[in-house]
Structure 1
Amino acid sequence: MAPEKPTKSKTAKSAPKTVSDFTILPLTLPILSGLPESCRASKHYLYVKPHAPSIPTATDERSLFIANVPIDATESNLRALFTDQLGGSKVERVEFDAPIPAQPMHKRWKTDKPGKQDGEQRGKKRKRNEEALVAEGVVEDQDSALPSTWPGELHRSGSGAVVIFVDKRSARGAYKEIYRAVKDNKTTHWKPGDAVLGIERYRTHTTLTYPTPTSLQSSLNAYLTQFNTLESLRNKHRKHARSVPDEDGFVTVTRGGRAGPARIEDAEKKKEELDARKKKNAVKDDFYRFQNREKRKEAELGLRRRFEEDRRRVEKMREGRGRLRPES
């Protein structure tokens, strides 16, 4: 029996350094407990390029776009990454995609802006009330929100971020350091953030799923207090909307009984203003060229018609003068 030929060991292919406009920066992830030996030297790849959005902004020249950020990435993590390992560039701020879970959206109450005749203190107070006023519910804060059941926020896999530096020079220097680190195969370590990962995250989640009755009661009391305050403000706005017509002269139909009849004078005044605005913005008779041509033709025909009538009238007068009348 012929001896078997030794099989060649397959060597792992090296990861690409660039793809499209992105420079691929490999990160060495920290070791987590519970992972097998084959996963101890795990890599995470960042895709970095100069930020060039479809709608330009004032900070594009000093920004870098990063795709596939780690799920536990925070502003402090990325700031430390550029400061300690990528040339020491100063980061102004970092803008991430929506975290998990996403922030709730609230429908704002449509109100008039405070006029200039109000005092500065009154304007500031009204502005604060309008920012806090929503159409329904409460904008929960740290006191009124229910206790979180997850230790820290995470990002979706493959999400992106925009790193904005203090100036254009820092952004260019950071991108050059990334390119140099990729070219020289420099090892870049990723420092974990405050978010708990691995099996400890789920252990903490199990513990946080059952909060104490004291913390729940405190959150409920704070929520109901804020809800009652905002509900009284919303009732005032509804009462105002029922008694004052809007800019088109209509009175808003809102929930609840009417506190008083709307002022007819204000409604009629708004209606007159609306009619005047419509009349002003309406299409006039001489707006188009063909309308001007037709007007000139009608004026010319009118002149000719009056000229013919005058000519016939003059001829009749001449004929009447030339006749001899017999003496009676």
Structure 2
Amino acid sequence: MHKEGGQSIDTGLNKWIREYKEDVVDTAALQTEIDKYMTEYDEKIQTEIEKAKAAEGVPDEEGWVTVTKYGKNKGAPRTEAHEKALTRKEKKRRKDKELLNFYSFQMRETKREQIANLRKKFEEDKNRIALMKASRKFRPY
């Protein structure tokens, strides 16, 4: 440490220690400052909400009614079931919008698949009818 004009000048390790201690924040003082700010902010927000609720539905001097977000209608509930229903509806709408059979070869393929399904169902029905006929017994009474 050197002396210049009655002041001591920190150098080296002493200077670094002093700078480090100055940089470290006092957590208790910081917490009290944060708490004070948050209470002031909460009070300000609460007064704004109260003003908005008081102004809801009241016309001004020109007859206009100010619409605020603090109205009587709370909107749709955002529950998990509601979200699932919305996503299901969105998927269905997207699927309906999707162009099916855009190309001619796609149309031919879907027609072939439909005909194959009809033939398969026809064969199944034929077999079922044959089984029903075979299981019939002669019951006069």
TM-score grouping bracket, smaller chain normalisation: 0.3 to 0.5
Could you say which structure has the higher helix fraction?
A: 2
TM-score (normalizing by structure 2):
0.34
TM-score (normalizing by structure 1):
0.16
Could you say which structure has the higher strand fraction?
A: 1
Between 1 and 2, higher relative CO (CA 8 Å, sep ≥ 6) is seen in: 1
